[in-house]
Structure formats: structure tokens, C-alpha cells
Amino acid sequence: MKELEELNLPDDIRYTGDHEWAKITDDTVRIGVSDYAQDQMGDIVFVEMPAIGDRFAKGDQFGTLESVKAVSEIYMPMSGTVIAVNTTLTDAPELINQDPYEAWIIEITPADPSEYDQLLPAAAYLDLLKG
């Protein structure tokens, strides 16, 4: 497992205490899980994603990540409506382990873009991981 110093935590995106990341671009937000999450989970073997059009509030569960040993629920960093899901993860769930920031899981239209400012910048997320 990775030491905290070895984690890849890009600073142009934001994070949640549940280890999701969110990247805002113009009117949409892409969502995935952090390097810490994929390292802790180990090999991801199945991704359950929502349907396009599904609406969730911030903090709602929107899917699951299945590893060999366990099931992890994933939660919305922001409220919004799903406009895209990363279908490459259906046949290649391991892409999340290989590059958790390239392998986004869903894309949403945010209900309230200001919720992005409440998320943790990389330095604050790392502090949280250090406990």
C-alpha cells in the first residue's frame, strides 16, 4: 500500500472526506475516486453506475465499486443530474486502479455550482488522510 507521501493528489481538483474527487469545467462536473481510495480498495473488478438522467443530492450514494474482497459505496460530492457515465469501466474496471483521475465515473450538471467551494482542496484532503 502507498505511503501518504506517495499518493497522487492533483491540485486542480477537489476532494471529499469519503475519497471522491470532483472536477468542474464550465457547466459540468466530472466525479471519480481518489488515488487513496483505489489503493485502499485494491483491484476493482466491477463498477455499478447510475443511469443518465438520475438526480442525486450531495451525499447520496450514486454507485458502488467492487473489489475482490469488498464492496465500496460512492457518494455525490455535489448535487446534480447525471449526463454521462464512463462506459469504458464496464469492461475495464481496472482503469480506476491504473489512473483514478483519468478514469472518471460519472459526469453531472450541478444543481448548485457553489457546492464545489465546500469541497476539500488537495492540501486539506491530505491533512485529513494524515489524521
Residues that bind another protein (CB under 8 A): 1-2, 39-40, 42-43, 45-46, 48, 64, 66-71, 94, 97
In the complex, least distance from residue 113 CB atom to another protein, rounded to whole angstroms: 30
Q: What is the DSSP letter of 64?
A: E
Which CB sits closer to another protein, 46 or 52? 46
In the complex, least distance from residue 73 CB atom to another protein, rounded to whole angstroms: 8
Q: What is the DSSP letter of 52?
A: T
One-letter amino acid of 34: S
Q: Give the DSSP per-residue string, 61-97.
A: EEEEEEESS-EEEEE-SS-EEEEEE-THHHH-TTHHH
Which CB sits closer to another protein, 34 or 67? 67
- Measured in degrees and rounded to the nearest 5, phi and psi for residue 104 equal -65, 160
In the complex, least distance from residue 90 CB atom to another protein, rounded to whole angstroms: 10
Which CB sits closer to another protein, 94 or 102? 94
> 3-class DSSP state for residue 102?
coil
In the complex, least distance from residue 102 CB atom to another protein, rounded to whole angstroms: 18
